[in-house]
């Protein structure tokens, strides 16, 4: 039987607490009454912004007169509570909503009927959408319970973190996959046209929250799983049960005919809409996602950073990653390392659809090796605010590019590069934040050695955002060690593909990856010297600030080294 949904939009220019009060005191009771009286089979709601802030209410197979009466009640309730309204300017309201149409705007108290536009593809297809719609109704009931019992924003965020953790359990995520998923969701909002790019504060707040009481957060997953394993009727029980049933139904549908969207993406969308219902914004969601990436895995709580004992993580790792005479030629023998994504003969380029900037051929390096070794130094201060594209091309091509002299050698699976790499896996990538490179737009790029090209990965980064990554990226030339962030031609970032390399080398992979990054960093430093450029190898940086800036997950793909490059400053 075909479902019919009626939609009513209730526009309310209210602060969050007054919007919640309207929802709890007026809208929800009337909607629930319609269902209780048999005038509708079910209902759900969400918050939305297009046309001004409003509540969207949907009724399943509802009596048209009952929906009209509901709309009239909402108009009357909005008029009754009009003192709660605030003055909103459409231009200011839409300032951080890039996709908004300023011409579409409703005043406080406007109540309009609308056509329900089902997002069939997003939720997996027609049958899958019906399963998700049923969950929308349960999610709405749970959201109302949360709004009543957790009036403060921090309380709601804690509940949201709990429910997201339970969603991970329902999906059966491993600890590593949970980190990837949570950080991927955090990063994904930077690519949304509906919201402004994140400024890093949500991540920093999540880290502060976690590290202020790590044992509390690390115990939470176990506590939740124990809670829902027993019978109960709490919001957590209702959520876990309803989501589990929803996922099971979607998996059965997928077994019969593939869903039109990935199951994990569908569940993330269900989570997002639940966060919306309890009044969380995108920065709240970013904060929760990053907090989950820290709290869901069963990490050991970090101890003393300078712990001298034999059980300290570095010593434990050094022991665990040792080759032994009895195993080096047997069970620890390296296995094949997968191709880098996009380099397998059977796959499309990893940068398909992304802007690609071809680089000019690298110019020759004519400086004698002995002179370059003698003249290499760590440059501090002003980096000249300029760099030519030709110099950048030569730097990348010679330091991290393909060896043209050896590229035709027989028996090679991959074109050889100008630096050593375990198994020729080339698991160290060069990323770049361009600031003052002539002929190149500011932005973030990945260097593709095989094509000697740059792939545009992200937009421009403000200098003050770069300075937040490391104390050695200075805001000004103040005499202390470091490069002045606003003057660097480009900030190179060496990124390690640990997840790929460890498939071949297991526990040894991190050692080998750090070695390879050292080879590449030294090549870059020496080639910069040969080209008359300034450079500085920076190992002191906030790891996850850099990882988040490049949208890396920080577990399988990690930032290893920063290397600002630029020109000598012009004479005063």
Instruction: Indicate the average pLDDT of the chain.
Output: 93
Q: What is the mean pLDDT of residues 455-480?
A: 83
- Give me the residue spans of the domains in the chain: 1-117, 121-302, 319-566
Q: What is the mean pLDDT of residues 17-44?
A: 98
Of 425 and 299, the structure prediction assigns the larger pLDDT to: 425
Q: What is the DSSP letter of 362?
A: P
Of 499 and 192, the structure prediction assigns the larger pLDDT to: 499
What is the pLDDT at residue 349?
Answer: 45
What is the pLDDT at residue 100?
Answer: 67
CATH of region 319-566: 3.40.109.10
CATH entry 3.30.300 includes domain 1-117: yes
Tell me the pLDDT tens digit for each residue of 58-77. 999 999 999 999 999 999 99
How many Å apart are CA 276 and CA 205, to the nearest integer? 20
How many Å apart are CA 98 and CA 551, to the nearest integer? 21
How many Å apart are CA 19 and CA 42, to the nearest integer? 22
Is a pLDDT exceeding 80 seen at residue 346?
no
| Band (113; pLDDT cuts 50, 70, 90) | very high
Asked if 35 contacts 108 with a C-beta cutoff of 8 angstroms, the reply is no
Of 167 and 88, the structure prediction assigns the larger pLDDT to: 167
Residue 171 to residues 44, 149, 245, 303, Cα–Cα distance (Å): 24, 27, 11, 31
Q: What is the mean pLDDT of residues 294-304?
A: 87
Tell me the pLDDT tens digit for each residue of 350-398. 455 788 999 999 999 999 999 999 999 999 999 999 999 999 999 999 9
Q: What is the mean pLDDT of residues 316-324?
A: 95
Q: Which of 450, 431, 374 is nearest to 563 (CA)?
A: 431
Is a pLDDT exceeding 50 seen at residue 343?
no
Best-predicted range by mean pLDDT (78-82, 189-193, 310-314): 78-82
Count the residues in the chain: 572
Is a pLDDT exceeding 90 seen at residue 531?
yes
What is the pLDDT at residue 463?
Answer: 63
* Count of Cβ atoms closer than 10 Å to residue 504 Cβ: 19
Cα dihedral 455→460→465→466 (10° resolution): 50
What is the pLDDT at residue 342?
Answer: 46
| Band (161; pLDDT cuts 50, 70, 90) | very high
Tell me the pLDDT tens digit for each residue of 123-156. 999 999 999 999 999 999 999 999 999 999 999 9
Q: What is the mean pLDDT of residues 41-45?
A: 98
Q: What is the mean pLDDT of residues 509-514?
A: 98
Of 517 and 460, the structure prediction assigns the larger pLDDT to: 517
Tell me the pLDDT tens digit for each residue of 322-342. 999 999 989 999 999 998 764
What is the pLDDT at residue 515?
Answer: 98
Residue 507 to residues 311, 319, 325, 339, Cα–Cα distance (Å): 17, 10, 16, 19
Q: What is the mean pLDDT of residues 17-31?
A: 98
Is a pLDDT exceeding 50 seen at residue 344?
no
Tell me the pLDDT tens digit for each residue of 236-283. 999 999 999 999 999 999 999 999 999 999 999 999 999 999 999 999
| Band (460; pLDDT cuts 50, 70, 90) | low
Which stretches of 155-274 are assigned E, i.e. beta strand?
none
Q: Among residues of the chain, what percentage have pLDDT more than 70?
A: 95
Is a pLDDT exceeding 90 seen at residue 400?
yes
Q: What is the mean pLDDT of residues 540-569?
A: 96
How many Å apart are CA 469 and CA 547, to the nearest integer? 10
How many Å apart are CA 132 and CA 567, to the nearest integer? 57
Q: Among residues of the chain, what percentage have pLDDT more than 90?
A: 83
Q: What is the DSSP letter of 24?
A: I
What is the pLDDT at residue 477?
Answer: 74
Beta-strand pair 490-497/428-434: antiparallel
């Amino acid at each position: 039987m075909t479902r019919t949904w009626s939609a009513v939009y209730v526009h309310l220019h209210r602060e969050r607490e007054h919007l919640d009060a309207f929802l709890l005191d007026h809208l929800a009771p009337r909607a629930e009454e319609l269902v209780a009286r048999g005038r509708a089979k079910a209902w759900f709601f969400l918050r939305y912004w297009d046309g001004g802030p409003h509540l969207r209410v949907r009724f399943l197979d509802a009596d048209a007169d009952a929906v009209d009466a509901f709309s009239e009640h909402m108009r009357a309730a909005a008029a009754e509570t009009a003192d709660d309204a605030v003055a909103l300017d459409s231009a200011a309201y839409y300032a951080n909503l890039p996709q908004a149409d300023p011409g579409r705007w409703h005043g406080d108290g406007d109540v309009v009927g609308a056509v329900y536009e089902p997002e069939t593809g997003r939720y997996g297809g027609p049958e899958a959408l019906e399963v998700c719609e049923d969950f929308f109704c349960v999610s709405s009931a749970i959201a109302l319970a949360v709004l009543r019992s957790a009036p403060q924003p921090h309380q709601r965020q804690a509940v949201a973190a709990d429910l997201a953790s339970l969603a991970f359990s329902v999906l059966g995520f491993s600890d590593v996959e949970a980190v990837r998923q949570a950080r991927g969701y955090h990063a994904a909002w930077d690519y949304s046209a509906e919201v402004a790019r994140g400024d890093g504060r949500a991540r920093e707040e999540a880290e502060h929250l976690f590290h202020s009481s790590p044992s509390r957060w690390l115990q939470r997953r176990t506590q939740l799983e124990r809670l829902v394993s027993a019978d109960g009727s709490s919001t957590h029980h209702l959520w876990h049960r309803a989501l589990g049933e929803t996922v099971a139904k979607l998996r059965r549908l997928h077994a019969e005919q593939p869903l039109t969207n990935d199951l994990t993406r569908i569940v993330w969308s269900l989570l997002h809409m639940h966060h919306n219902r309890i009044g969380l914004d995108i920065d709240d969601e970013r904060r929760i996602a990053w907090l989950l990436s820290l709290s869901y895995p069963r990490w050991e709580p970090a101890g003393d950073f300078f712990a001298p004992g034999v059980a300290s993580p570095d010593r434990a790792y050094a022991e665990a990653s040792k080759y032994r005479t009895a195993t080096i030629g047997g069970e620890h023998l390296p296995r094949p390392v997968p191709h880098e994504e996009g380099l397998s003969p059977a796959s499309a380029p990893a940068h398909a659809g992304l802007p690609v900037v071809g680089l000019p051929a690298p110019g020759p390096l004519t400086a004698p090796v002995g002179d370059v070794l003698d003249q290499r130094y760590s440059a501090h201060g002003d980096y000249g605010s300029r760099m030519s594209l030709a110099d950048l091309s030569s730097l990348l091509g010679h330091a991290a590019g393909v060896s043209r002299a050896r590229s035709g050698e027989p028996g090679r699976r991959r074109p050889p590069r100008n630096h050593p790499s375990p198994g020729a896996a080339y698991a160290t990538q060069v990323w770049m934040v361009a600031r003052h490179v002539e002929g190149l737009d500011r932005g973030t790029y990945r260097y593709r050695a095989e094509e000697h090209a740059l792939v545009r990965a992200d937009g421009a980064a403000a200098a003050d955002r770069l300075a937040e990554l490391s104390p050695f990226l200075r805001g000004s030339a103040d005499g202390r060690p470091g490069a002045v962030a606003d003057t660097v031609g480009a900030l190179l970032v060496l990124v390690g593909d640990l997840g790929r390399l460890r498939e071949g080398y297991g526990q040894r992979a991190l050692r080998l990856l750090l070695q390879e990054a050292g080879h590449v960093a030294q090549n870059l430093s020496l080639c910069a010297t040969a080209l008359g450029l300034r450079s500085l190898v920076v190992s002191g940086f906030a790891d996850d600030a850099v990882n988040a800036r490049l949208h890396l997950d920080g577990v399988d793909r990690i930032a290893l080294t920063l290397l600002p490059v630029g020109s000598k400053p012009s004479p005063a």
